[in-house]
């Protein structure tokens, strides 16, 4: 078999998006990547298309690996191989090359998240040296009936990003880090109640995603976050609330305490020291 890697920057966005969608065919959750979705991922998550790779088999594109970069760290933001080319060793070959490339450009660590029940993915990443850091969970809650007299104060998303960088866990998953939070823009909105903070996606939509929650270090353990969450649910009634499966157990008490339901899909946060 002849395998080769080519810079993703050589392909038009729409073709990369299409190949990614095909690479995630029959996945655990439906994935449909369009050019605008890819552009948002690139901006938010610092994906570097010059270091991302199109994976070829016998001269034909069969997969994509998106590489995000910040300082000394890189992240495998997505890797998908089309179903007909899977389970023949190309994923292992590509990962070994991507790790060599990361070392050669001076990165010191590579990170990723993988769905726990993705047997092929977990096996592959452990085989090439990634270690499990922690489990990551998501939640959902439909139309909570809540009353609250508390008034949320709206703040600039950049202000929240600064606070997450300062007060958040140092090894937060990439998408929860202050660097990612600072790339969110309206119609997403950030709110504060005393020392508790959150970032949500467009509250005018029927489904709202909670992209960040934070309680300043000095106020942790005082029960502030459920008060803030209730105020949030009361301010935007008749919504379905989603927490993506990227939250470490250390943070999940916030969602457990207000009765959100843990999602079936959980992930491993993994890291490789280069």
- Residue 260 β-bridge partners: none
For the CB of residue 249, give the shortest distance to ligand COA in the complex, in Å: 20
Q: Give just the sign of the alpha carbon dihedral 243, 76, 31, 88.
A: negative
For the CB of residue 123, give the shortest distance to ligand COA in the complex, in Å: 4
Quick check: 228 and 153 in contact, CB under 8 A? no
Taking the least distance from each CB to ligand COA, the nearer of 91 and 178 is 91
Rounded Cα–Cα distance for residues 239 and 255 (Å) = 16
- At how many degrees (to 10) do helices 249-257 and 224-235 cross? 60
For the CB of residue 24, give the shortest distance to ligand COA in the complex, in Å: 5
Taking the least distance from each CB to ligand COA, the nearer of 114 and 172 is 114
What residue ranges bind ligand COA (CB under 6 A)? Answer: 23-24, 27, 79-81, 86-92, 114, 118-121, 123-124, 127
For the CB of residue 93, give the shortest distance to ligand COA in the complex, in Å: 7
Taking the least distance from each CB to ligand COA, the nearer of 23 and 178 is 23
Taking the least distance from each CB to ligand COA, the nearer of 116 and 256 is 116
For the CB of residue 26, give the shortest distance to ligand COA in the complex, in Å: 7
For the CB of residue 193, give the shortest distance to ligand COA in the complex, in Å: 35
Report the alpha-carbon angle 114-216-224, nearest 5. 95
For the CB of residue 127, give the shortest distance to ligand COA in the complex, in Å: 6
- At how many degrees (to 10) do helices 35-45 and 13-23 cross? 90
b/e per residue 158-188 (b: at least 16 CB within 10 A): eebbebbeebbeeebbbbbbbbbbbbbeeeb
Taking the least distance from each CB to ligand COA, the nearer of 20 and 199 is 20
Report the alpha-carbon angle 237-241-242, nearest 5. 170
Compute CA distances 237 → 139, 146, 178, 208, 223, whole Å.
Answer: 18, 8, 28, 11, 22
Taking the least distance from each CB to ligand COA, the nearer of 191 and 247 is 247
| Residue nearest to ligand COA as judged by C-beta position | 91
Closest C-alpha to 272, from 173, 175, 131 = 131
Taking the least distance from each CB to ligand COA, the nearer of 68 and 114 is 114
């Amino acid at each position: 078999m002849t395998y080769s890697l080519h810079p993703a920057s050589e392909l038009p966005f729409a073709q990369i998006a299409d190949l990614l969608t095909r690479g995630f065919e029959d996945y655990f959750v439906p994935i449909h990547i369009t050019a605008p979705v890819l552009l948002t991922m690139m901006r938010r998550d610092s994906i570097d298309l010059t270091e991302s790779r199109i994976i070829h088999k016998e001269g034909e594109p069969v997969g994509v690996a998106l590489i995000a970069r910040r300082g000394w760290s890189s992240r495998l933001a997505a890797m998908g191989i089309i179903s007909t080319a899977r389970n023949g060793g190309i994923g292992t070959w590509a990962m070994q090359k991507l790790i060599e490339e990361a070392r050669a450009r001076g990165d010191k660590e590579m990170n990723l998240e993988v769905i726990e029940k993705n047997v092929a993915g977990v096996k592959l990443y452990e085989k090439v040296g990634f270690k499990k850091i922690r489990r990551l969970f998501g939640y959902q809650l439909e139309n909570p009936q809540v009353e609250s007299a508390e008034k949320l104060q709206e703040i600039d998303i950049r202000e929240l990003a600064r606070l997450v960088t300062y007060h958040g866990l140092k090894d937060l998953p990439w998408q929860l880090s202050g660097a990612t939070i600072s790339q969110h823009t309206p119609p997403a909105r950030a709110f504060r109640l005393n020392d508790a903070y959150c970032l949500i996606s467009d509250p005018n939509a029927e489904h709202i995603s909670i992209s960040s929650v934070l309680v300043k270090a000095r106020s942790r353990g005082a029960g502030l976050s459920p008060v803030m969450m209730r105020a949030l649910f009361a301010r935007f009634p008749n919504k379905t609330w989603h927490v993506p499966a990227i939250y470490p157990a250390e943070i999940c008490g916030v969602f457990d305490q207000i009765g959100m339901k843990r999602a079936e899909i959980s992930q491993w946060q993994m890291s490789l020291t280069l």
